[in-house]
Structure 1
Protein backbone atom coordinates (compact mmCIF):
# COMPACT_ATOMS: atom_id res chain seq x y z
CA UNK A 1 0.00 0.00 0.00
CA UNK A 2 1.03 3.61 -0.56
CA UNK A 3 0.33 6.53 1.79
CA UNK A 4 -0.04 9.99 0.21
CA UNK A 5 -0.44 13.38 1.89
CA UNK A 6 -1.30 16.50 -0.08
CA UNK A 7 -0.44 20.19 -0.05
CA UNK A 8 -2.51 21.01 -3.14
CA UNK A 9 -6.31 20.75 -2.90
CA UNK A 10 -6.76 20.25 -6.63
CA UNK A 11 -4.36 17.30 -6.67
CA UNK A 12 -6.19 15.73 -3.71
CA UNK A 13 -9.59 16.21 -5.37
CA UNK A 14 -8.31 14.75 -8.61
CA UNK A 15 -6.91 11.74 -6.79
CA UNK A 16 -9.91 10.85 -4.57
CA UNK A 17 -13.04 12.24 -6.25
CA UNK A 18 -13.82 9.23 -8.45
CA UNK A 19 -13.28 6.94 -5.46
CA UNK A 20 -15.67 8.99 -3.32
CA UNK A 21 -18.30 9.27 -6.06
CA UNK A 22 -18.65 5.48 -6.17
CA UNK A 23 -20.82 5.92 -3.06
CA UNK A 24 -21.78 9.56 -3.56
CA UNK A 25 -24.70 9.67 -1.16
CA UNK A 26 -22.85 7.93 1.68
CA UNK A 27 -19.82 10.18 1.10
CA UNK A 28 -21.83 13.41 1.02
CA UNK A 29 -20.01 14.79 4.08
CA UNK A 30 -16.46 14.59 2.73
CA UNK A 31 -17.50 15.50 -0.83
CA UNK A 32 -19.42 18.52 0.47
CA UNK A 33 -16.48 19.70 2.56
CA UNK A 34 -14.16 19.30 -0.41
CA UNK A 35 -16.43 21.41 -2.58
CA UNK A 36 -16.40 24.27 -0.06
CA UNK A 37 -12.63 24.30 0.45
CA UNK A 38 -10.60 26.73 -1.63
CA UNK A 39 -7.19 25.58 -0.40
CA UNK A 40 -5.58 23.02 1.88
CA UNK A 41 -4.20 25.68 4.20
CA UNK A 42 -4.47 24.30 7.78
CA UNK A 43 -6.29 21.26 6.39
CA UNK A 44 -5.01 17.68 6.52
CA UNK A 45 -5.65 15.49 3.48
CA UNK A 46 -4.34 12.02 2.70
CA UNK A 47 -5.15 8.89 0.75
CA UNK A 48 -4.10 5.26 0.60
CA UNK A 49 -3.54 3.49 -2.71
CA UNK A 50 -3.33 -0.23 -3.32
CA UNK A 51 -2.12 -1.35 -6.75
CA UNK A 52 -2.56 2.27 -7.91
CA UNK A 53 -6.21 2.26 -6.81
CA UNK A 54 -7.46 4.60 -4.07
CA UNK A 55 -8.84 2.52 -1.20
CA UNK A 56 -9.12 5.19 1.53
CA UNK A 57 -9.39 8.98 1.88
CA UNK A 58 -8.80 11.19 4.93
CA UNK A 59 -9.76 14.83 5.47
CA UNK A 60 -9.62 17.01 8.58
CA UNK A 61 -10.50 20.69 8.89
CA UNK A 62 -9.34 21.73 12.39
CA UNK A 63 -10.74 21.70 15.02
CA UNK A 64 -13.12 19.08 13.64
CA UNK A 65 -12.68 15.33 13.63
CA UNK A 66 -10.96 13.37 10.90
CA UNK A 67 -13.41 12.22 8.22
CA UNK A 68 -12.40 8.78 6.94
CA UNK A 69 -13.70 6.84 3.95
CA UNK A 70 -12.51 3.26 3.47
CA UNK A 71 -13.31 0.92 0.60
CA UNK A 72 -14.59 -1.97 2.68
CA UNK A 73 -14.19 -4.37 -0.24
CA UNK A 74 -10.55 -4.48 0.82
CA UNK A 75 -9.17 -5.55 4.19
CA UNK A 76 -10.47 -2.92 6.62
CA UNK A 77 -8.10 -4.19 9.32
CA UNK A 78 -5.09 -3.76 7.05
CA UNK A 79 -6.11 -0.29 5.87
CA UNK A 80 -6.84 0.99 9.39
CA UNK A 81 -3.58 -0.38 10.81
CA UNK A 82 -1.63 1.16 7.94
CA UNK A 83 -3.37 4.53 8.28
CA UNK A 84 -2.79 4.66 12.05
CA UNK A 85 0.90 3.97 11.55
CA UNK A 86 1.16 7.03 9.30
CA UNK A 87 -1.26 9.27 11.19
CA UNK A 88 0.77 8.80 14.36
CA UNK A 89 3.59 10.71 12.67
CA UNK A 90 1.54 13.28 10.76
CA UNK A 91 -1.55 13.97 12.89
CA UNK A 92 -0.78 12.95 16.49
CA UNK A 93 -3.27 15.34 18.14
CA UNK A 94 -6.33 13.89 16.46
CA UNK A 95 -9.54 15.09 18.21
CA UNK A 96 -11.81 12.38 16.85
CA UNK A 97 -12.96 10.30 13.90
CA UNK A 98 -16.11 10.39 11.79
CA UNK A 99 -16.73 7.39 9.56
CA UNK A 100 -18.90 4.31 9.14
CA UNK A 101 -19.72 2.52 12.38
CA UNK A 102 -17.35 -0.36 11.60
CA UNK A 103 -14.41 1.85 10.65
CA UNK A 104 -14.88 4.39 13.47
CA UNK A 105 -15.02 1.82 16.25
CA UNK A 106 -12.12 -0.24 14.89
CA UNK A 107 -10.01 2.88 14.36
CA UNK A 108 -10.84 4.29 17.81
CA UNK A 109 -9.89 1.07 19.57
CA UNK A 110 -6.48 0.89 17.86
CA UNK A 111 -5.73 4.63 18.01
CA UNK A 112 -6.59 5.01 21.70
CA UNK A 113 -4.45 2.01 22.61
CA UNK A 114 -1.47 3.26 20.58
CA UNK A 115 -1.70 6.88 21.81
CA UNK A 116 -2.74 6.04 25.41
CA UNK A 117 -6.05 7.88 25.07
CA UNK A 118 -9.65 7.37 26.11
CA UNK A 119 -12.48 7.55 23.63
CA UNK A 120 -16.23 7.94 23.72
CA UNK A 121 -18.97 7.76 21.14
CA UNK A 122 -20.22 11.30 20.61
CA UNK A 123 -23.06 10.29 18.32
CA UNK A 124 -24.33 7.26 16.45
CA UNK A 125 -26.01 8.37 13.24
CA UNK A 126 -27.72 7.01 10.18
CA UNK A 127 -27.18 8.48 6.74
CA UNK A 128 -30.47 8.44 4.83
CA UNK A 129 -31.25 9.25 1.20
CA UNK A 130 -34.40 10.08 -0.74
CA UNK A 131 -34.92 10.01 -4.50
CA UNK A 132 -38.70 10.31 -4.44
CA UNK A 133 -40.91 11.84 -1.77
CA UNK A 134 -43.96 10.05 -0.44
CA UNK A 135 -47.23 11.89 0.20
CA UNK A 136 -47.78 13.08 3.76
CA UNK A 137 -50.23 15.40 5.46
CA UNK A 138 -48.83 18.91 4.97
CA UNK A 139 -49.43 21.25 7.88
CA UNK A 140 -50.65 24.80 7.70
CA UNK A 141 -47.99 27.18 6.36
CA UNK A 142 -45.55 27.66 3.51
CA UNK A 143 -41.86 27.06 2.81
CA UNK A 144 -39.92 30.27 2.21
CA UNK A 145 -36.30 31.29 1.75
CA UNK A 146 -35.08 32.81 5.03
CA UNK A 147 -34.96 36.60 5.10
CA UNK A 148 -32.17 38.81 6.51
CA UNK A 149 -34.52 40.32 9.10
CA UNK A 150 -34.90 36.88 10.68
CA UNK A 151 -31.13 36.36 11.16
CA UNK A 152 -31.12 37.08 14.91
CA UNK A 153 -33.99 34.70 15.68
CA UNK A 154 -32.56 31.97 13.46
CA UNK A 155 -29.18 32.36 15.18
CA UNK A 156 -30.93 31.69 18.50
CA UNK A 157 -32.58 28.64 16.95
CA UNK A 158 -29.28 27.33 15.60
CA UNK A 159 -27.70 27.57 19.05
CA UNK A 160 -30.71 25.77 20.57
CA UNK A 161 -30.49 23.10 17.84
CA UNK A 162 -26.79 22.52 18.53
CA UNK A 163 -27.42 22.18 22.26
CA UNK A 164 -30.41 19.85 21.90
CA UNK A 165 -28.68 17.70 19.28
CA UNK A 166 -25.57 17.23 21.43
CA UNK A 167 -23.43 18.61 18.62
CA UNK A 168 -20.05 20.14 19.37
CA UNK A 169 -20.53 23.63 20.88
CA UNK A 170 -20.78 26.68 18.63
CA UNK A 171 -20.17 30.19 19.96
CA UNK A 172 -22.74 32.85 19.07
CA UNK A 173 -20.36 34.76 16.80
CA UNK A 174 -19.82 31.65 14.68
CA UNK A 175 -23.53 30.86 14.69
CA UNK A 176 -24.31 34.37 13.47
CA UNK A 177 -21.79 33.97 10.67
CA UNK A 178 -23.21 30.58 9.65
CA UNK A 179 -26.77 31.95 9.55
CA UNK A 180 -25.75 35.02 7.58
CA UNK A 181 -23.87 32.91 5.03
CA UNK A 182 -26.82 30.55 4.70
CA UNK A 183 -29.25 33.42 4.18
CA UNK A 184 -27.00 35.15 1.66
CA UNK A 185 -26.54 31.89 -0.24
CA UNK A 186 -30.31 31.26 -0.14
CA UNK A 187 -29.68 27.91 1.50
CA UNK A 188 -31.73 28.44 4.67
CA UNK A 189 -35.50 28.02 4.59
CA UNK A 190 -38.29 28.70 7.05
CA UNK A 191 -41.76 27.29 7.48
CA UNK A 192 -44.09 30.22 8.04
CA UNK A 193 -47.66 30.42 9.24
CA UNK A 194 -48.92 33.82 8.26
CA UNK A 195 -46.22 36.30 9.26
CA UNK A 196 -44.74 34.01 11.92
CA UNK A 197 -41.86 31.64 11.21
CA UNK A 198 -42.24 28.40 13.12
CA UNK A 199 -39.51 26.07 11.85
CA UNK A 200 -36.30 26.05 9.81
CA UNK A 201 -34.38 23.72 7.50
CA UNK A 202 -31.12 24.16 5.62
CA UNK A 203 -29.74 22.74 2.38
CA UNK A 204 -26.01 21.99 2.38
CA UNK A 205 -23.11 19.97 0.91
CA UNK A 206 -24.00 19.95 -2.77
CA UNK A 207 -22.24 17.16 -4.68
CA UNK A 208 -22.38 16.05 -8.30
CA UNK A 209 -25.83 14.45 -8.13
CA UNK A 210 -27.08 14.98 -4.57
CA UNK A 211 -27.46 17.57 -1.85
CA UNK A 212 -27.71 17.42 1.93
CA UNK A 213 -30.37 18.69 4.32
CA UNK A 214 -29.57 19.68 7.91
CA UNK A 215 -30.39 22.05 10.77
CA UNK A 216 -34.01 20.91 10.91
CA UNK A 217 -35.36 22.71 13.97
CA UNK A 218 -38.67 23.75 15.46
CA UNK A 219 -38.71 25.62 18.80
CA UNK A 220 -40.65 23.88 21.62
CA UNK A 221 -43.62 26.26 21.45
CA UNK A 222 -44.38 25.20 17.86
CA UNK A 223 -43.73 21.44 18.05
CA UNK A 224 -46.12 18.54 17.42
CA UNK A 225 -47.86 20.37 14.59
CA UNK A 226 -45.97 18.81 11.68
CA UNK A 227 -44.08 21.95 10.70
CA UNK A 228 -40.62 20.37 10.46
CA UNK A 229 -41.95 17.33 8.57
CA UNK A 230 -43.74 19.60 6.13
CA UNK A 231 -40.65 21.79 5.64
CA UNK A 232 -38.38 18.80 4.98
CA UNK A 233 -40.95 17.24 2.63
CA UNK A 234 -41.45 20.40 0.62
CA UNK A 235 -37.75 21.26 0.43
CA UNK A 236 -36.86 17.68 -0.55
CA UNK A 237 -39.51 17.68 -3.27
CA UNK A 238 -38.19 21.00 -4.55
CA UNK A 239 -34.54 19.89 -4.55
CA UNK A 240 -35.30 16.61 -6.32
CA UNK A 241 -36.24 18.63 -9.40
CA UNK A 242 -32.55 19.55 -9.62
CA UNK A 243 -30.72 16.64 -7.94
CA UNK A 244 -31.04 12.87 -8.15
CA UNK A 245 -31.24 12.52 -4.38
CA UNK A 246 -31.27 14.34 -1.05
CA UNK A 247 -29.34 13.04 1.95
CA UNK A 248 -29.43 13.73 5.67
CA UNK A 249 -28.00 12.44 8.94
CA UNK A 250 -30.30 11.30 11.73
CA UNK A 251 -29.45 10.61 15.35
CA UNK A 252 -30.10 6.91 15.96
CA UNK A 253 -31.03 7.80 19.53
CA UNK A 254 -34.04 9.75 18.21
CA UNK A 255 -36.52 7.20 16.78
CA UNK A 256 -39.17 9.89 16.24
CA UNK A 257 -37.19 11.83 13.64
CA UNK A 258 -36.06 8.59 11.98
CA UNK A 259 -39.68 7.52 11.60
CA UNK A 260 -40.71 10.90 10.20
CA UNK A 261 -37.98 10.91 7.57
CA UNK A 262 -38.87 7.36 6.49
CA UNK A 263 -42.50 8.45 5.96
CA UNK A 264 -41.27 11.28 3.74
CA UNK A 265 -39.34 8.79 1.61
CA UNK A 266 -35.84 8.68 3.12
CA UNK A 267 -34.18 5.26 3.32
CA UNK A 268 -31.18 4.24 5.48
CA UNK A 269 -27.97 3.77 3.49
CA UNK A 270 -25.18 3.79 6.11
CA UNK A 271 -24.71 3.82 9.87
CA UNK A 272 -22.01 6.21 11.05
CA UNK A 273 -20.22 6.90 14.32
CA UNK A 274 -18.60 10.12 15.50
CA UNK A 275 -16.05 9.24 18.18
CA UNK A 276 -13.97 11.68 20.25
CA UNK A 277 -10.60 11.11 21.94
CA UNK A 278 -9.35 12.51 25.25
CA UNK A 279 -6.46 12.12 27.63
CA UNK A 280 -6.84 9.33 30.17
Structure 2
Protein backbone atom coordinates (compact mmCIF):
# COMPACT_ATOMS: atom_id res chain seq x y z
CA UNK A 1 0.00 0.00 0.00
CA UNK A 2 1.47 3.33 -1.05
CA UNK A 3 1.72 5.74 1.92
CA UNK A 4 0.84 8.92 0.01
CA UNK A 5 -2.18 8.02 -2.04
CA UNK A 6 -5.92 7.46 -2.16
CA UNK A 7 -7.01 4.17 -0.58
CA UNK A 8 -10.39 2.84 -1.73
CA UNK A 9 -12.90 0.35 -0.40
CA UNK A 10 -16.09 -0.83 -2.09
CA UNK A 11 -17.42 -3.04 0.70
CA UNK A 12 -20.16 -1.51 2.86
CA UNK A 13 -19.19 -3.92 5.62
CA UNK A 14 -15.90 -2.02 5.89
CA UNK A 15 -17.62 1.10 7.23
CA UNK A 16 -16.39 0.45 10.78
CA UNK A 17 -12.85 -0.02 9.51
CA UNK A 18 -13.18 3.14 7.44
CA UNK A 19 -14.32 5.10 10.49
CA UNK A 20 -11.51 3.62 12.58
CA UNK A 21 -9.04 5.02 10.05
CA UNK A 22 -10.77 8.23 8.95
CA UNK A 23 -13.17 9.04 11.79
CA UNK A 24 -10.67 11.22 13.63
CA UNK A 25 -10.18 13.34 10.53
CA UNK A 26 -13.93 13.77 10.02
CA UNK A 27 -14.47 14.65 13.69
CA UNK A 28 -11.63 17.20 13.59
CA UNK A 29 -13.87 19.66 11.70
CA UNK A 30 -17.45 18.54 12.34
CA UNK A 31 -19.08 21.63 10.83
CA UNK A 32 -17.19 21.38 7.54
CA UNK A 33 -17.60 17.60 7.46
CA UNK A 34 -21.23 17.57 8.59
CA UNK A 35 -22.63 15.71 5.58
CA UNK A 36 -20.15 12.81 5.52
CA UNK A 37 -20.47 12.49 9.29
CA UNK A 38 -24.26 12.15 9.22
CA UNK A 39 -24.33 10.03 6.06
CA UNK A 40 -21.71 7.53 7.21
CA UNK A 41 -23.29 7.33 10.67
CA UNK A 42 -26.61 6.49 9.04
CA UNK A 43 -24.90 3.83 6.96
CA UNK A 44 -23.18 2.43 10.04
CA UNK A 45 -26.35 2.22 12.13
CA UNK A 46 -28.87 1.26 9.45
CA UNK A 47 -26.72 -0.80 7.12
CA UNK A 48 -26.39 -0.96 3.36
CA UNK A 49 -30.14 -0.74 2.76
CA UNK A 50 -30.29 2.77 4.24
CA UNK A 51 -29.57 4.27 0.83
CA UNK A 52 -30.92 1.61 -1.51
CA UNK A 53 -29.47 -1.43 -3.17
CA UNK A 54 -25.98 -1.37 -4.58
CA UNK A 55 -22.39 -0.90 -3.57
CA UNK A 56 -21.14 1.98 -1.45
CA UNK A 57 -17.60 3.20 -2.11
CA UNK A 58 -15.31 4.86 0.43
CA UNK A 59 -11.87 6.34 0.11
CA UNK A 60 -9.32 8.23 2.15
CA UNK A 61 -6.28 10.24 1.17
CA UNK A 62 -3.25 9.54 3.34
CA UNK A 63 -0.20 11.79 3.30
CA UNK A 64 2.73 10.94 5.56
CA UNK A 65 0.55 8.62 7.60
CA UNK A 66 -2.22 11.17 8.17
CA UNK A 67 -5.72 11.10 6.67
CA UNK A 68 -6.16 14.41 4.84
CA UNK A 69 -9.40 13.88 2.90
CA UNK A 70 -12.16 11.34 2.31
CA UNK A 71 -14.81 10.59 -0.24
CA UNK A 72 -17.85 8.36 -0.38
CA UNK A 73 -20.27 7.34 -3.07
CA UNK A 74 -23.71 5.98 -2.24
CA UNK A 75 -25.57 3.54 -4.53
CA UNK A 76 -26.73 5.17 -7.80
CA UNK A 77 -25.42 8.57 -6.68
CA UNK A 78 -22.45 10.78 -7.34
CA UNK A 79 -19.19 11.40 -5.54
CA UNK A 80 -19.08 13.38 -2.29
CA UNK A 81 -15.61 14.67 -1.46
CA UNK A 82 -14.05 16.69 1.37
CA UNK A 83 -11.77 19.63 0.45
CA UNK A 84 -8.50 18.68 -1.27
CA UNK A 85 -5.80 20.38 -3.32
CA UNK A 86 -6.27 20.25 -7.13
CA UNK A 87 -3.48 17.70 -7.60
CA UNK A 88 -5.15 15.29 -5.20
CA UNK A 89 -8.51 15.80 -6.91
CA UNK A 90 -6.78 14.92 -10.18
CA UNK A 91 -5.18 11.81 -8.66
CA UNK A 92 -8.57 10.62 -7.41
CA UNK A 93 -10.24 11.26 -10.77
CA UNK A 94 -7.50 9.30 -12.53
CA UNK A 95 -7.80 6.39 -10.12
CA UNK A 96 -11.60 6.18 -10.32
CA UNK A 97 -11.56 6.48 -14.11
CA UNK A 98 -8.93 3.76 -14.33
CA UNK A 99 -11.14 1.47 -12.26
CA UNK A 100 -14.06 2.04 -14.62
CA UNK A 101 -16.25 4.12 -12.34
CA UNK A 102 -19.06 6.21 -13.83
CA UNK A 103 -20.22 9.34 -12.03
CA UNK A 104 -23.43 11.32 -12.51
CA UNK A 105 -22.07 14.21 -10.43
CA UNK A 106 -19.55 15.40 -7.86
CA UNK A 107 -20.47 17.33 -4.71
CA UNK A 108 -17.79 19.18 -2.74
CA UNK A 109 -16.60 22.57 -1.56
CA UNK A 110 -16.64 24.84 -4.60
CA UNK A 111 -12.91 24.87 -5.40
CA UNK A 112 -12.57 21.13 -4.84
CA UNK A 113 -15.66 20.33 -6.91
CA UNK A 114 -14.37 22.51 -9.73
CA UNK A 115 -10.91 20.89 -9.65
CA UNK A 116 -12.38 17.39 -9.65
CA UNK A 117 -14.87 18.22 -12.43
CA UNK A 118 -12.07 19.53 -14.63
CA UNK A 119 -9.94 16.47 -13.86
CA UNK A 120 -12.84 14.12 -14.55
CA UNK A 121 -13.32 15.75 -17.93
CA UNK A 122 -9.62 15.30 -18.74
CA UNK A 123 -9.63 11.63 -17.76
CA UNK A 124 -13.04 10.59 -19.11
CA UNK A 125 -14.24 13.19 -21.60
CA UNK A 126 -17.41 13.76 -19.56
CA UNK A 127 -18.59 17.37 -19.75
CA UNK A 128 -19.26 19.03 -16.36
CA UNK A 129 -22.12 21.48 -15.81
CA UNK A 130 -22.55 23.47 -12.61
CA UNK A 131 -25.87 22.16 -11.35
CA UNK A 132 -26.17 23.63 -7.87
CA UNK A 133 -24.47 25.94 -5.41
CA UNK A 134 -25.22 25.92 -1.71
CA UNK A 135 -23.76 27.87 1.20
CA UNK A 136 -22.78 26.23 4.46
CA UNK A 137 -23.39 28.22 7.64
CA UNK A 138 -22.22 27.55 11.19
CA UNK A 139 -24.00 29.02 14.21
CA UNK A 140 -22.09 31.68 16.12
CA UNK A 141 -24.15 33.45 18.78
CA UNK A 142 -27.83 32.58 18.53
CA UNK A 143 -29.82 35.83 18.31
CA UNK A 144 -33.60 35.66 17.91
CA UNK A 145 -34.81 37.95 15.15
CA UNK A 146 -37.01 40.82 16.30
CA UNK A 147 -39.90 41.06 16.47
CA UNK A 148 -40.56 37.45 17.45
CA UNK A 149 -43.94 36.40 16.01
CA UNK A 150 -46.69 35.45 18.44
CA UNK A 151 -46.62 31.77 19.35
CA UNK A 152 -43.99 29.26 20.41
CA UNK A 153 -41.85 26.39 19.24
CA UNK A 154 -43.12 22.88 19.85
CA UNK A 155 -41.47 19.52 19.41
CA UNK A 156 -43.39 17.49 16.84
CA UNK A 157 -45.27 14.44 18.12
CA UNK A 158 -46.76 11.30 16.61
CA UNK A 159 -50.07 13.06 15.97
CA UNK A 160 -48.25 15.49 13.65
CA UNK A 161 -46.81 12.84 11.35
CA UNK A 162 -49.22 13.37 8.46
CA UNK A 163 -48.55 17.11 8.39
CA UNK A 164 -44.78 16.59 8.60
CA UNK A 165 -44.88 14.24 5.61
CA UNK A 166 -47.02 16.71 3.65
CA UNK A 167 -44.74 19.64 4.42
CA UNK A 168 -41.60 17.63 3.56
CA UNK A 169 -43.20 16.77 0.22
CA UNK A 170 -44.01 20.43 -0.37
CA UNK A 171 -40.44 21.34 0.57
CA UNK A 172 -39.06 18.84 -1.97
CA UNK A 173 -41.37 20.23 -4.63
CA UNK A 174 -40.34 23.81 -3.82
CA UNK A 175 -36.58 23.21 -4.06
CA UNK A 176 -36.77 20.64 -6.86
CA UNK A 177 -35.43 17.82 -4.72
CA UNK A 178 -35.69 14.33 -6.21
CA UNK A 179 -36.98 11.93 -5.12
CA UNK A 180 -39.90 13.52 -3.33
CA UNK A 181 -41.50 11.89 -0.29
CA UNK A 182 -44.91 10.54 0.65
CA UNK A 183 -46.39 8.27 3.32
CA UNK A 184 -45.20 5.10 1.56
CA UNK A 185 -41.63 6.26 0.98
CA UNK A 186 -41.25 8.08 4.31
CA UNK A 187 -39.39 5.33 6.20
CA UNK A 188 -36.64 5.20 3.56
CA UNK A 189 -36.41 8.97 3.08
CA UNK A 190 -33.68 11.23 4.42
CA UNK A 191 -36.26 12.90 6.68
CA UNK A 192 -37.35 9.84 8.64
CA UNK A 193 -34.70 10.05 11.37
CA UNK A 194 -34.92 13.84 11.89
CA UNK A 195 -36.27 15.59 14.97
CA UNK A 196 -38.91 18.12 13.88
CA UNK A 197 -39.99 21.36 15.51
CA UNK A 198 -43.10 23.38 14.67
CA UNK A 199 -43.65 27.06 15.23
CA UNK A 200 -47.28 27.37 16.22
CA UNK A 201 -49.52 30.37 16.69
CA UNK A 202 -51.14 31.07 20.08
CA UNK A 203 -54.20 29.02 19.06
CA UNK A 204 -51.96 25.98 18.43
CA UNK A 205 -51.89 26.10 14.60
CA UNK A 206 -48.52 25.00 13.12
CA UNK A 207 -47.24 27.61 10.65
CA UNK A 208 -43.60 26.62 10.04
CA UNK A 209 -41.29 23.65 10.46
CA UNK A 210 -37.60 22.94 11.04
CA UNK A 211 -35.84 19.62 11.47
CA UNK A 212 -32.50 18.61 12.93
CA UNK A 213 -30.24 15.63 12.37
CA UNK A 214 -29.08 13.38 15.18
CA UNK A 215 -25.93 14.63 16.86
CA UNK A 216 -22.66 13.26 15.53
CA UNK A 217 -19.29 14.42 16.86
CA UNK A 218 -21.08 17.26 18.66
CA UNK A 219 -22.61 18.47 15.39
CA UNK A 220 -26.28 18.94 14.48
CA UNK A 221 -27.52 20.12 11.08
CA UNK A 222 -30.79 22.04 10.83
CA UNK A 223 -32.47 20.73 7.68
CA UNK A 224 -35.00 21.35 6.26
CA UNK A 225 -36.65 24.65 7.18
CA UNK A 226 -40.04 25.12 5.55
CA UNK A 227 -42.92 27.56 5.70
CA UNK A 228 -45.92 27.20 3.36
CA UNK A 229 -45.94 29.93 0.72
CA UNK A 230 -49.07 31.66 1.99
CA UNK A 231 -47.56 32.02 5.48
CA UNK A 232 -44.16 33.46 4.53
CA UNK A 233 -42.97 36.96 5.38
CA UNK A 234 -44.27 36.87 8.94
CA UNK A 235 -41.11 35.81 10.80
CA UNK A 236 -42.13 32.19 11.27
CA UNK A 237 -39.09 30.66 9.53
CA UNK A 238 -36.68 32.64 11.68
CA UNK A 239 -38.59 31.75 14.84
CA UNK A 240 -38.68 28.02 14.13
CA UNK A 241 -35.00 27.98 13.09
CA UNK A 242 -34.09 29.65 16.38
CA UNK A 243 -36.22 27.13 18.27
CA UNK A 244 -34.59 24.14 16.54
CA UNK A 245 -31.11 25.64 16.98
CA UNK A 246 -31.73 26.34 20.65
CA UNK A 247 -32.88 22.74 21.16
CA UNK A 248 -29.68 21.48 19.53
CA UNK A 249 -27.54 23.64 21.83
CA UNK A 250 -29.53 22.49 24.85
CA UNK A 251 -28.86 18.88 23.84
CA UNK A 252 -25.12 19.59 23.95
CA UNK A 253 -24.27 20.39 20.33
CA UNK A 254 -21.01 22.29 19.88
CA UNK A 255 -21.52 22.85 16.14
CA UNK A 256 -24.92 23.71 14.65
CA UNK A 257 -24.94 24.12 10.89
CA UNK A 258 -27.33 24.58 8.00
CA UNK A 259 -27.25 25.00 4.23
CA UNK A 260 -28.86 27.78 2.20
CA UNK A 261 -29.20 28.64 -1.45
CA UNK A 262 -26.84 31.60 -2.00
CA UNK A 263 -29.18 32.88 -4.70
CA UNK A 264 -31.93 33.41 -2.12
CA UNK A 265 -31.18 36.75 -0.43
CA UNK A 266 -34.11 36.43 1.98
CA UNK A 267 -33.03 33.18 3.63
CA UNK A 268 -29.34 34.18 3.69
CA UNK A 269 -30.12 37.50 5.36
CA UNK A 270 -32.34 35.72 7.87
CA UNK A 271 -29.72 33.15 8.87
CA UNK A 272 -27.07 35.82 9.29
CA UNK A 273 -29.46 37.90 11.39
CA UNK A 274 -30.07 35.06 13.86
CA UNK A 275 -26.38 34.31 14.28
CA UNK A 276 -25.28 31.95 11.50
CA UNK A 277 -21.91 32.70 9.89
CA UNK A 278 -20.93 31.59 6.35
CA UNK A 279 -18.35 28.81 6.42
CA UNK A 280 -17.92 27.84 2.76
CA UNK A 281 -19.75 27.50 -0.54
CA UNK A 282 -20.52 24.06 -1.92
CA UNK A 283 -21.01 23.09 -5.54
CA UNK A 284 -22.49 20.16 -7.46
CA UNK A 285 -21.27 19.50 -11.01
CA UNK A 286 -23.35 17.19 -13.17
CA UNK A 287 -21.60 15.10 -15.80
CA UNK A 288 -23.23 14.78 -19.21
CA UNK A 289 -21.54 11.45 -19.89
CA UNK A 290 -21.64 8.95 -17.03
CA UNK A 291 -19.27 6.47 -18.66
CA UNK A 292 -15.50 6.94 -18.47
TM-score by length of 2: 0.86
Task: Please tell me whether the aligned partners of residues 78 and 105 of structure 2 are also in contact (alpha carbons under 8 angstroms).
Answer: yes
**Cα displacement (A) at 1:176:** 6.2
Task: Please tell me whether the aligned partners of residues 5 and 45 of structure 1 are also in contact (alpha carbons under 8 angstroms).
Answer: yes
Question: For structure 1, which segment, 106-115 or 42-51, has the greater mean C-alpha deviation from structure 2 after superposition?
Answer: 106-115
**Cα displacement (A) at 1:262:** 0.4
Query: How many Å separate the matches in 1 of 2:33 and 2:286?
Result: 20
Change (3 A) 1:270 1:70: same
Instruction: Encode CA deviations 1:37-88: one digit per residue, 9 max, x unaligned.
Output: 12467211011212212122011112332110134xxxx1220111011111
Query: How many Å separate the matches in 2 of 1:167 and 1:118?
Result: 23
Query: How many Å separate the matches in 2 of 1:57 and 1:223?
Result: 39
Partner of 1:188: 196
TM-score by length of 1: 0.89
Point out 4+ residue stretches in structure 1 off by more than 3 angstroms: 175-180
23, 29, 52: which one aligns with 2:65: 52
Partner of 1:248: 258
Gaps of 5+ in 2: 49-53
Partner SS state of residue 279, structure 1: coil
**Cα displacement (A) at 1:28:** 0.5
2, 6, 12: which one aligns with 2:5: 2
**Cα displacement (A) at 1:171:** 4.7
Query: How many Å separate the matches in 2 of 1:142 and 1:207?
Result: 27
Change (3 A) 1:91 1:168: farther
Query: How many Å separate the matches in 1 of 2:181 and 2:210?
Result: 20
**Cα displacement (A) at 1:145:** 1.8
Gaps of 5+ in 1: none
Aligned length: 273
Partner of 2:28: 22
Task: Please tell me whether the aligned partners of residues 106 and 113 of structure 2 are also in contact (alpha carbons under 8 angstroms).
Answer: yes
Instruction: Encode CA deviations 1:15-42: one digit per residue, 9 max, x unaligned.
Output: 1112222322111011111111124672
Instruction: Encode CA deviations 1:74-103: one digit per residue, 9 max, x unaligned.
Output: xx1220111011111346221211111000
Q: C-alpha root-mean-square deviation of aligned residues, in Å?
A: 2.1
The question of 1:64 aligning with 2:77 is answered yes
